[in-house]
């Protein structure tokens, strides 16, 4: 039993206790048993190959960072609504290699105001963006994409040869 197994067991047990709304020894014991049973069946029947190369410890602070990013971009959107703005579609090449992290990036882009994920083909991502009419292109959307991608690259581990 490694660190990961202990961490997941405790996290699932904690979730069980929250859902049951009671802390008692029988409740904790049942929660740990159910947690180990769930982990056993998940390991046996669900093979998560696309998340094998994700370091979840590096990804732990990402949700809090993303919330801050959402509020920052919301202030930008208020400025764009009140001033001269334009909209358009832009395509960028992704640096992320992991498919799961690419999906997280696409969802995160849609959560942040000012850009919406439209399509992803291979390493290219297409976004619907809003920007300043006085500027060429959509530098704010590009900066947002790059900063989200930079945070996710930290949790990407090198691919292992099979």
Same domain, 70 and 148: yes
Helix 99-111 × helix 139-153 angle, to 10°: 140
Q: How far apart are CA 44 and CA 145, in angstroms?
A: 36
Q: Which two tokens stand for residue 134?
A: 């006085």
Residue 99 in domain: yes
pLDDT in tens, the chain (162 residues): 567 788 888 888 998 898 888 889 999 999 999 999 988 888 788 767 667 778 777 888 888 999 999 999 999 889 888 888 889 999 999 988 888 888 889 999 998 898 999 999 888 999 999 888 888 888 888 888 999 999 998 888 765 554
Q: Which residue has the tokens 């764009």?
A: 80
Same domain, 90 and 122: yes
Give the per-residue pLDDT at 162: 45
Sheet with 124-132, strands from edge to edge, namely 85-93, 124-132, 115-121
Same domain, 71 and 109: yes
Q: How far apart are CA 124 and CA 4, in angstroms?
A: 33
Same domain, 66 and 17: no
Q: How far apart are CA 95 and CA 40, in angstroms?
A: 34
Same domain, 76 and 18: no
3-state DSSP call for residue 91? strand
């Amino acid at each position: 039993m490694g660190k990961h197994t202990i961490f997941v067991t405790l996290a699932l047990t904690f979730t069980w206790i929250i859902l049951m709304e009671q802390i008692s020894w029988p409740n904790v014991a049942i929660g740990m048993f159910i947690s180990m049973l769930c982990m056993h069946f998940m390991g046996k029947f669900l093979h998560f190959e696309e998340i094998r190369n994700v370091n979840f410890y590096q990804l732990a602070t990402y949700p809090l960072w993303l919330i801050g990013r959402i509020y920052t971009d919301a202030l930008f959107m208020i400025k764009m609504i009140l001033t001269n703005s334009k909209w358009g579609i832009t395509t960028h090449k992704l640096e992320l290699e992991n498919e799961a992290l690419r999906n997280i990036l696409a969802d995160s882009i849609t959560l942040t105001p000012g850009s919406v994920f439209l399509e992803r083909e291979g390493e290219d991502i297409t976004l619907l963006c809003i920007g300043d009419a006085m500027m060429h292109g959509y530098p704010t959307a590009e900066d947002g994409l790059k900063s989200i991608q930079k945070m996710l690259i930290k949790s990407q581990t090198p691919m292992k040869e099979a």
